Structure 1
Amino acid sequence: MENPSSTNPKPPSHSEEVKVSFPRDHVMLLMFNRPRALNAMTPTMRQDVCTLLDWFDKEPSLWVVVITGQGRVFCAGADLIAWNKSQRSEDGKDEGERTIADVNGFGSISRRSSSSKPMIAAVNGGAYGGGVEIVVNCDLVVASEEATFALPEVKRGVVAIQGGMPRLARIAGHQLASEMLLLGRNIPAAEAAARFGFVNKVVPKTEVLSTALAWAVEITTNSPDSVQSTKRALLLTNKHADVEDIVKAHARSKESVRHFTSENIKEGLRAFSEKRKPVWSNPAKL
């Protein structure tokens, strides 16, 4: 599946807990690679994801990332053994401050809002705890028919504090979010799509990755400047309540300013008048 082209960018070094490849032009595939541990997130894995996504955000030739898991589970949340071994304060207030300071959230994804590049979740199997928090912060979600979703933190004496609660409540509404958050119940993929609304499409397990990659390719047929400016507007919608505030913040955003001065806006209009497909170029670095 990986494109053998020598033009692929070279990612930063990382451990074997994460795999990265470039299966299509302008597309990065990020795969959690701890299948025996159900892709539970370790501190090492989180740092790998952070390093790779920070690099992805700055790499002009990469326009979309697809995130998936190796094996039968997308992500089972935190690896509690590794988490307990890592250094952390016993003071709850200090732990709360850690959460606030961790601006990218669980797995360096669940609260990541600095990036204006689309993230697609290809949910190959179950997503639990932090795994769900990752999913609901992605822009598009393709899930296997066999996938289930759960936020069981209340059953373990902890809380889903890495962005999952407010985002799920905004997507599904208070009462439906409460089903997952207060009862800790499992939600099948079909229900996550039809009732809860955080899954875009449910497909057979064998088609999850190919569907996500097809969507990624479809995104790359559009102007990357327009796509990234549009995603910034969507992110600002989550930040501001008033429409005028969103419009003003978006108009002043780096992505919007770049879009209106880009070669791609000229190319798009020129291609339309010439009745041909546009040929997009990599966006300028922000």
Structure 2
Amino acid sequence: MAQLTPPPTSEELIVSFPADHVLQLTFNRPKSLNAMTPRMSDDLKRVLDWFEDEPQLWVVIVTGAGRVFCAGADLKAWNTTQQKGDTGEQERLASDIHGFGSLSRRQSRKPVVAAVHGGAYGGGMEMLLNCDYVVADEGAEFALPEVKRGVVAVQGGILRLALISGHQLASEMLLLGKTISAVDARTRFGFINEVVPAPDVLPTALTIAKQITSNSPDAVQSTKEGLLLAQQLNHREAFLTHALSPVSRRVYKGGNIKEGLKAFSEKRSPTWKNPAKL
């Protein structure tokens, strides 16, 4: 993989490349439990927008430094704006197409893997609910406690949790502001893929990312788009939109499909190329 030059960021976000075709983003405010600031959110937007357009990068891992993945918004800063009489919150939400941390409503064609230490709360949980694969440590906890603070999990958490867990289980977390364990998050609520010992969280997430990059990036990104369409449209509309989409055309007109089928017939591992830009 050729040398990559990501956009500049502040010290609140660490950008690294732990494997070929894999980007890792680490929230880096451990003393504040990685509570989201405007600066960190801006950093995430710049890097994720770049990631979307970089053909060499096929998967992103998001994680947090220190004890907790992300404790949500910096409530002290939010309190200051509220006490000053700031009334523009609805307009800001409506204009922010990618949601909390530029991730909770992002519709990326590329897979997003979350590696969760300690837990995720509020906006932090809204971000992981929009990830494709979530690995958490055995002691992690999860909550959407917004109603306890007079606010709402409006950055995508309500819709995503209802879609994943169903109305009643989503209500259990959202209306009570209830905190749940990693085991419950996996077995009852269904938004965690794997629960592992704490030292294994990031290595497991990286293993998953490498398994994804062992597959055709064209096929993976087309499949991801199909998953997104399935959330938005009825069955027939989703099928037709996906079948006729540019990402499907890239699969069937590109070189990776030829390489995959040839490698199968020759009983060898395929050598994938970076997908063409759409």
Aligned counterparts of 2:236 and 2:85: Cα–Cα separation in 1: 42
1:218 aligns with 2:198: no
Secondary structure in 1 aligned to 2:268?
coil
Partner of 2:104: 110
1:90 aligns with 2:86: yes
Task: Write the mapping of 1:44-55 to structure 2, written as runs, cut at 5 A.
Answer: 44-55=39-50
Q: Tell me which moved more, 131-140 or 246-255.
A: 246-255
State the identity as a percent.
61
Q: Note if contact 1:99-1:105 (Cα within 8 Å) is conserved in structure 2.
A: yes
1:141 counterpart (134, 148, 155): 134
Spell out, residue by residue over 1:151-197, the C-alpha distance to the aligned partner (whole angstroms, 9 max, x if none).
00000000000010011011001111111100111110010000000
Spell out, residue by residue over 1:230-269, the C-alpha distance to the aligned partner (whole angstroms, 9 max, x if none).
00000011111x2110011112222112111111011111
Aligned counterparts of 2:192 and 2:63: Cα–Cα separation in 1: 14
Q: What is the deviation of 1:8?
A: 3.4
1:31 aligns with 2:23: no
Aligned counterparts of 1:159 and 1:102: Cα–Cα separation in 2: 16
Unpaired stretches in structure 2, ≥5 consecutive residues: none
Partner of 1:277: 269
Partner of 1:177: 170
Q: Note if contact 1:43-1:83 (Cα within 8 Å) is conserved in structure 2.
A: no
TM normalised by structure 1 equals 0.94
Aligned counterparts of 1:165 and 1:33: Cα–Cα separation in 2: 26
Secondary structure in 2 aligned to 1:284?
coil
Aligned alpha-carbon RMSD (Å): 1.4
TM normalised by structure 2 equals 0.96
Any runs of at least 4 consecutive aligned residues in structure 1 with deviations exceeding 4 A, and if so which?
A: 84-89
Partner of 1:22: 17
Aligned residues: 277
Secondary structure in 2 aligned to 1:65?
strand
Which letter maps to 1:200?
N
1:232 counterpart (221, 225, 243): 225
Aligned counterparts of 1:148 and 1:84: Cα–Cα separation in 2: 25
Which letter maps to 1:116?
R
